[in-house]
């Protein structure tokens, strides 16, 4: 460091500039049946007390945003992503000056995809300042629910990211165990796109080239044994276009 830079830093007064708090919010998706769910909390404190919200909170001085996201999720819902097959990526930064009535707060939102067997979801347990924690169907919340802060906007952005990515990648498989059947994968697509209009034969033709047959088969219910696959190629070519509304 040069002497000039040392003098600059010595004379620099941070309080002369507006302060901005940094927070994180998380959209955690998981599928049951053909339903896309997300983890939500009921806020226990003001502002927006008792309102439905995404898990999240402030980044501590010694944390980066990703570390804070994992900590806040576990504190508010009891869900430790390290104990599950999960994919986490940064979604976007939300920085509207009026998004938080307390002060200027910028949120780094994260998208998490939690793998399930399609039948059950991990239990959530409220903690810290949350009055409740629960899984709720995403499309129901977007249609009917009033969310705290700008969390409806964050939820919609996360859904848009996921719905778009699964057209040309096998990101949908991140919502399943490492090995899965084509029917399980098709149900994930139906859940994310909120549709039943996915022809099984066409879906199989689109997916087969990107999947690796494990050589094993499983039986669910009274149906014939189904082949089990893993992901061979992350990208779909040609892409699978979602049905029109």
Domain CATH for 175: 1.10.10.10
76 and 115 in a single domain? The answer is: yes
Number of domains in the chain: 2
User: pLDDT tens-digit profile of 151-182?
Assistant: 999 999 999 999 999 999 999 999 999 999 99
Show the CA angle centred on residue 21, arms to residues 79 and 106, nearest 5°: 75
Q: Which of the listed residues 165, 195, 214 is the one where a domain comes to its end?
A: 165
127 and 154 in a single domain? The answer is: yes
**Position 9 in a domain:** no
Q: Report the C-alpha gap between 172 and 187 in whole angstroms.
A: 10
Q: Report the C-alpha gap between 133 and 38 in whole angstroms.
A: 11
184 and 104 in a single domain? The answer is: no
- Give the bridge partners for 52, in sequence order: 42, 147
**Position 5 in a domain:** no
Show the CA angle centred on residue 132, arms to residues 155 and 194, nearest 5°: 35
State the CATH number of the domain containing residue 95. 3.90.79.10
146 and 225 in a single domain? The answer is: no
Q: Report yes or no on whether pTM surpasses 0.85.
A: yes
72 and 153 in a single domain? The answer is: yes
69 and 108 in a single domain? The answer is: yes
User: pLDDT tens-digit profile of 127-137?
Assistant: 877 889 999 99
Report the DSSP pairing between strands 52-53 and 211-218. unpaired
143 and 198 in a single domain? The answer is: no
Q: Report the C-alpha gap between 85 and 177 in whole angstroms.
A: 7
pLDDT tier, 221 (very low <50, low <70, confident <90, very high otherwise): low
User: pLDDT tens-digit profile of 45-99?
Assistant: 999 999 999 999 999 999 999 999 999 999 999 999 999 999 999 999 999 999 9
């Amino acid at each position: 460091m040069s002497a000039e830079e040392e003098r600059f830093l010595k004379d620099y007064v941070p309080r002369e500039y507006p302060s901005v708090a940094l927070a994180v919010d998380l959209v955690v998706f998981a599928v049951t049946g053909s339903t896309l769910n997300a983890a939500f909390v009921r806020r226990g404190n003001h502002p927006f007390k008792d309102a439905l919200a995404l898990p999240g909170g402030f980044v501590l001085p010694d944390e980066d945003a990703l570390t804070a996201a994992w900590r806040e999720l576990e504190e508010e819902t009891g869900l430790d992503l390290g104990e599950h097959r999960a994919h986490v990526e940064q979604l976007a930064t939300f920085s509207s000056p009026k998004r938080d009535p307390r002060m200027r707060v910028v949120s780094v939102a994260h998208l998490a995809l939690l793998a399930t067997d399609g039948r059950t979801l991990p239990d959530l347990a409220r903690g810290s300042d949350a009055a409740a924690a629960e899984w709720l169907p995403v499309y129901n919340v977007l249609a009917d629910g009033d969310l705290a802060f700008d969390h409806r906007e964050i939820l919609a952005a996360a859904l848009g990211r996921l719905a778009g990515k699964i057209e040309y990648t096998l990101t949908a498989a991140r919502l399943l165990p490492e090995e899965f059947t084509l029917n399980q994968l098709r149900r994930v697509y139906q859940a994310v796109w909120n549709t039943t209009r996915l022809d099984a034969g066409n879906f199989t033709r689109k997916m087969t080239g990107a999947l690796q047959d494990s050589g094993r088969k499983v039986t669910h219910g009274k149906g014939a044994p189904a082949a089990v696959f893993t992901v061979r190629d992350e990208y779909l070519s040609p892409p699978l276009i979602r049905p029109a509304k």
